[in-house]
Amino acid sequence: MKRFFHPHFKDMLFTWRNFGEPCSQARCEWESTKLLSSNGIGTYNPVCYGERTKWGMERKSFIVTEELKGVSLTDYVKQNWQQLNKRQKEKIITSIAAFVRRIHENKFSLPDLYVWHIFLKENQASGEWEFAVIDLHRMSQNVTNKKRLMENLGRLLHSMTDRYFDEELKRLFIESYAGSDCAGDIHTLLAQVKKYSDKVSAKRKPKPY
């Protein structure tokens, strides 16, 4: 269960702009899970949501979801990263990059895209990694603004702490995300994402894990 108490006015304004009508934080999360799932992007399955309003304004809301299969990326990294070899780490990084790229190709922006909001599990049949993303109440759809998508990447890079993710892995993530469609120099793209990551890091430290 995820609860929203006394939501900020800016969050209520955001949901209004995103859906064209007043929308509680829980309903926004509910609609976002449906949008991602309908586009084949992993997230949790919602069960129900509830909301309390006053004069049309949200006061409280909640959403209940099924338990996600898999483990949070932070827990996986904390428990297993030191035992993985370089190739195994690179496979996870490139798989995450492909997952984020698919989100952006479907024109979704996730301002809360952090390591701790990604879940993973290994498909035993194929040996490939599967991912799901959570914390969606600020998700936007039909986003084509490249700057906003780069900010998503910057926040994810900010959450990749140096203890586990060295500069080589971070660069591999950006290169894998860009693929062969990168318009311009990969160095420029990396600098743009790093600039925003540093901006976020200047305001707050990454959550420890």
Pure H helices in the chain: 9-19, 25-38, 73-80, 86-105, 146-159, 167-178, 186-203
pLDDT in tens, 2-15: 999 877 766 666 67
pLDDT bin (cut points 50, 70, 90) of residue 73 is very high
pLDDT in tens, 99-145: 999 999 999 999 999 999 999 999 988 889 999 999 999 999 999 99
pLDDT bin (cut points 50, 70, 90) of residue 56 is confident
Q: What is the pTM of this model?
A: 0.90
Which pLDDT score is estimated for 150? 94
Sort strands 46-54 and 57-65 into parallel, antiparallel or unpaired: antiparallel
Which pLDDT score is estimated for 14? 67
Q: Report the C-alpha gap between 107 and 149 in whole angstroms.
A: 9
Q: Are 111 and 145 in contact (CB under 8 A)?
A: no
pLDDT in tens, 136-181: 999 999 999 999 999 999 999 999 999 999 999 999 999 999 986 6
All domains of the chain in start order, with CATH: 2-65 (no CATH), 71-203 (1.10.510.10)
